[in-house]
Amino acid sequence: MATITHRENLLAVIRGEMVDQIPWVPRIDLWHNAHQHRGTLPKKFEGMTVEEIHRSMGWALHKMAPEYSRFDTPEDNYHRGIGLFDLKEHPCTFEFSSDVDIRVSVKEEEGAEMTRIEYHTPVGMVSAAHGSTPEMKNAGASISWVKEHPLKGREDYKVLAHIFGNMTVKPSYERFNKFREMVGEDGIAVAQGLGLGCGSPLHFIQKSLMDATEFYIHHNDYPNEMAELVEAVELAYDQSLDILSGAQMDAVLWVSNVDDMITYPDLYKKHFQPYIRKASEVLKEKGVIMVSHPDGENQGLMSLLTDSGLDVADAVTPWPMTKVKIEDYYDQWCRPGHMTIHGGIPEMLLLEKSSTREDLSDFMDNLFKTISPGTRFIASMGDTTPPDADFDRIMYIGDRFEKEGKLPLAAGSYNPLSSADLESARQMVTPKSTEETVADMNVEAALAQITADVLEGEEEDILVHAQELLDQGFSAADILNKGMLPAMDVIGERFSDGTVFIPEVLLSARAMNDGLDLLEPYLASSNVKRGGRVLLGTVLGDLHDIGKNMVVSMMKGTGFEVIDMGVNVSTVNIVEQVREHRPDIVGLSALLTTTMPQMKEVIDALSEAGLRDDLKVIVGGAPVNQMFADHVGADGYAHDAGEAVVVAKQYMEEMEQHA
C-alpha cells in the first residue's frame, strides 16, 4: 500500500475524513528569520532553510501565509504601501494605467531603509512609505512596516479610486506553478488573493490603505467617498477572482487578520461577508479550499466565519491568549463539520517568561480530552513560533501528538453549552439603548443630553449642548464629572465585555475630547483637578498601534492627560520622556512575542535612572499576561483599553491617598 503524502493527508483532514492521527505542522519562519539574522540557529539547523528543517524533522511544510520577505526583486515589494504584492504565492499580478506616474525613492531613515512611492494621476497625487527597522529584522519580522499610508484625508479618495479603478490584473500562473512544484507533496501550496489577505474591497481599504483606527472615523465621516473607493477596488477584485478561478491550486488564503475587535461583527457581516461568499461560490466550484486566518479575538465572529463559505481557520489562537477556549472552537467549528482548525496552540505557551512547562502540559491534557473525535484539526501554533521560544517545547508538543494524537480521540470531560446557555449569553451581551442607559445612570435631567451625546459619539451636538449648559450657569466641573465622564465609564465597560466595538469607542472618545476642549478654559480657571498624567507607547521593534491607540482614546476620554509616544519607541527615548514629562503612569504595549522583552529593558532602565519609584508601569498587548507582567517588574497588567483605565484609576486613587 502506497504511503500517503503530507499534502494528501492534510487535504483529507480538511475534507473531514478520519486520518490516522492529528497532523503536527508547526510554523517556524519568524523564529528562523530571527535566529538566522542573529547568527544563533541551533547547531543542527545551521545553514538550513525553513523547508529543509521541516523535511528533516518529518513535518509537513507550513505554507498558509506568503513569504513577504522572499521576493525576487525589490520591485516586487514596491507597492506594499498601497497593499499590493507581486510574489510567488500570487497567481495574478497587476499593471497600473499609463496615466499613473510612479516615482520611487529609497533612503535610510533612522536606521531603517524606507521605500517611498508617489503615485501621480490626472486627479491628484498620493504617497506611501514602508520599510524595515533593524529591530524588526532582529525579531524575525517577515513583512515591512507601512510608515506612511496613502489614504490620509478626504482628497485622497478620488486619487486611489482612479488608481484601482483603472488597474489591470493579469495571470501569473507560471510563477505560481513553480511555487506549487517547490512545495510538492510536502504540504499545501496555498495561493493568495489580491493584496494582504483582505476578504473584500472594504477590508482592503481598512487593512492596506490607511491607519487602522482612522478607518473607523473615515467610515463614519466620509461614506460617499468610501463607497466610491470600494467600487473602484471591487473592479480589481473581480478581475483577480476571475484569474484565480483559472489557476491550478488546492487552496487560497482569502481573508486574514479578522478579529472581533478590529473587524467587529456588524462591519464583517455588512461589508466583508458578502464578497467572501461571492469568492467562495466561484472558487469552491473549482474545488478550491477557502482559507481564513482569524488569529485574534473571535468571540463575536464564530458563526459569521462559518457562514462565509470558509473551509479552514488558520492561526487559531485560543485561551489563555484570547477569550475563546480550544474546546469551544472545536465544538462550534470542527465537530459540526463547518471548518477545519489549522493552529490551536497559543504561542505564549512556548515562552518561559509567559508560562510554565506545567501550563503547557495542562493545555495539552485538556486539548486531548475535549476535541474528540479529533477530525478537522491540524495542530500548529496560534500564529507563529516566537524567536525566544523554548524549542524543546515544540518538540514536546510534537511528541504528545505522536503518542496521543491517534484518531479517533476518546471523548473526555467537555460539556458543550446548551441552547439555553447560548441564548442567555446572547441576552447578557445585548446593550441597552442610549435612553435606557441614561435613565439607569441617575444622571441629572439637565445633564442627560450631554451623557447621551458622549454615548452616541455626537461630536457636534455635544459642543452645542455643553455651551447651552455653561450659558445657563452650570459649572464646567459638573458637566465633565456628572455628564461626560460617567458616559465614558459605560463605554469602557461595554468595550471590555464585548457589547461595543472600536467605532463606538473612538466616536465617543472624539465627542468627549471635543467637549473637553470646550470646557478646558473653564476648568483651568476654576482649578479643577483632572486625572493623572499618562505616558503611552509601543516598545522598540513593535509597530502595532491599534491597541495602544484605543488606550490613548479611552484614557483621554476619562480625564487623563495623555502623552502618546507612538510606536517603535526606544528605551532611551522612553526614559528621556519620563524625565521630561514626569508622568504618574507609564503604559507599555507590545503585540509581538518578539518585542515583549523590551518591556523589562524599559523598566530596568527607569530604575537605573532613578525614575522608577515615582510612577506606576502598566503593560498590555495580546501576548502579555499577568505572569509576564510580574516577571518584568510591572506594577500592573491590563487585558484591554477598558481594563487599562480601571487599573490607572486605581493607581491614581492610591497615589492620592498616600500623598
- DSSP string of 568-584, one letter each residue: SB-HHHHHHHHHHH--S
CATH code, 191: 3.20.20.210
CA angle 400, 402, 408 (to 5 degrees): 95
Residue 416 in any domain: the answer is: no
Q: Does 418 map to a domain?
A: no
Which element (helix H / strand E) includes 203?
helix 201-204
Range 182-185 contact pairs with CB under 8 angstroms and sequence separation of 24 or more: 182/51, 183/7, 183/61, 183/63, 184/7, 185/5, 185/6, 185/7, 185/8
Which among 338, 327, 279 has a CA at the least distance from the CA of 303? 338
Tell me, yes or no, whether 542 lies in a domain: yes
Decide which of 486 and 401 is more confident: 401
Query: CA neighbours within 13 Å on the CB side: how many for 478?
Result: 13
Helix (H, G, I), strand (E, B) or coil at 550: helix
Average pLDDT rounded to a whole number, residues 550-566: 88
The reported pLDDT for the residue numbered 425 is: 40
pLDDT score, position 1:
47
Same domain, 547 and 515: no
- How large is the C-alpha radius of gyration of the chain? 25
Measured distance CA(642)–CA(655) in Å, rounded: 20
Kindly state whether residue 206 falls inside one of the protein's structural domains: yes
Upper half-sphere CA count for residue 31 (Cβ side, 13 Å): 23
* Predicted confidence (pLDDT) per residue in 589-617, tens digit: 998 777 888 999 999 999 999 999 999 99
Q: Are residues 205 and 273 in the same domain?
A: yes
* pLDDT per position as a tens digit, 29-53: 989 988 998 899 999 999 999 999 9
What mean pLDDT comes out for the span 380-397? 93
Identify the CATH number of the domain in which residue 494 sits: 1.10.1240.10
300-318 burial string, b = 16+ CB within 10 Å, else e?
bbbebbbebbbbbbbbbbb
Q: Is residue 415 part of a domain?
A: no
Full DSSP string of 19-72: -SB--B----HHHHHHHHHHT---GGGTT--HHHHHHHHTPPB--SS--TT--S
433: pLDDT strictly greater than 80: no
Q: For position 630, which CATH number holds?
A: 3.40.50.280
69 with 206, same domain: the answer is: yes
Q: Which of 476, 506, 528 is the last residue of a domain?
A: 528
Choose one of 528, 553, 569: the last residue of a domain.
528
Instruction: Report if residue 419 sits inside a domain.
Output: no
Identify the domain containing residue 92 by its residue range: 6-404
Q: Are residues 604 and 643 in the same domain?
A: yes
What is the per-residue pLDDT for 259? 87
Per-residue pLDDT averaged across 439-444, rounded? 66
Q: Are residues 361 and 478 in the same domain?
A: no
Mean residue pLDDT of the chain comes to 90
pLDDT, residue 494, reads 85
Q: What is the pLDDT of residue 418?
A: 45
Is the same domain home to 317 and 176?
A: yes
CB 148, CB 81: distance < 8 Å: yes
Model confidence over 456-472: pLDDT tens digits?
999 999 999 999 999 99
pLDDT tens profile 56-110: 999 999 999 988 878 888 888 899 999 999 999 999 999 999 999 999 999 988 7
Co-location of 517 and 601 in the same domain: no
Q: Is the pLDDT of residue 376 over 80?
A: yes
Model confidence band, residue 203 (pLDDT cutoffs 50, 70, 90): very high
**pLDDT attached to residue 421:** 45
In a domain, 417, yes or no: no
Record the cell numbers describing residue 384, joined without a space: 507563529
Q: How far apart are CA 321 and CA 231, in angstroms?
A: 37
Q: What is the pLDDT of residue 428?
A: 40
What is the number of structural domains in the chain? 3
pLDDT of res. 528: 59
Q: Is position 413 within any domain?
A: no
Confidence of residue 424 (pLDDT cuts 50, 70, 90): very low
412 — pLDDT class (breaks 50, 70, 90): low
Q: Are residues 315 and 432 in the same domain?
A: no
Handedness of CA 429, 257, 31, 11 (dihedral sign): positive
Give the model confidence (pLDDT) of 495-526 as tens digits.
877 788 888 888 998 999 899 889 988 887 76
Name the band, by pLDDT with cuts 50, 70 and 90, for residue 261: confident
Residue 340: strand pairing partners:
312
Is the pLDDT reported for residue 422 higher than 70? Answer: no
pLDDT tens per residue across span 573-591: 999 999 999 999 999 999 8
Helix axes 502-525, 459-471, angle to 10 degrees: 30
pLDDT of residue 2: 64
* Among 595, 652, 604, residue whose Cα is nearest residue 624: 595
Judge contact between 237 and 275, C-beta under 8 A.
yes
Residue 37 grid cell = 539574522
Q: How confident is the model at residue 402 (pLDDT cuts 50, 70, 90)?
A: very high
Tell me which of 462, 493, 528 is where a domain ends: 528
Residues 377 and 451 in one domain: no
Q: Are residues 341 and 479 in the same domain?
A: no
**pLDDT beyond 90 at 438:** no
Indicate if 222 and 255 belong to the same structural domain.
Answer: yes
Question: Is the domain of 180 the same as that of 37?
Answer: yes
Res 440: pLDDT? 66
pLDDT at residue 133, as a whole number: 79
Q: Is the peptide bond before 373 cis (omega within 30 degrees of 0)?
A: yes
Which residues, at least 6 apart from 113, have a Cβ–Cβ distance to it below 8 Å? 106, 107, 131, 132
pLDDT class of 423 with cuts at 50, 70, 90: very low
Task: Name the most confidently modeled range: 14-18, 257-261, 477-481.
Answer: 14-18
* pLDDT reading at 395 higher than 60: yes
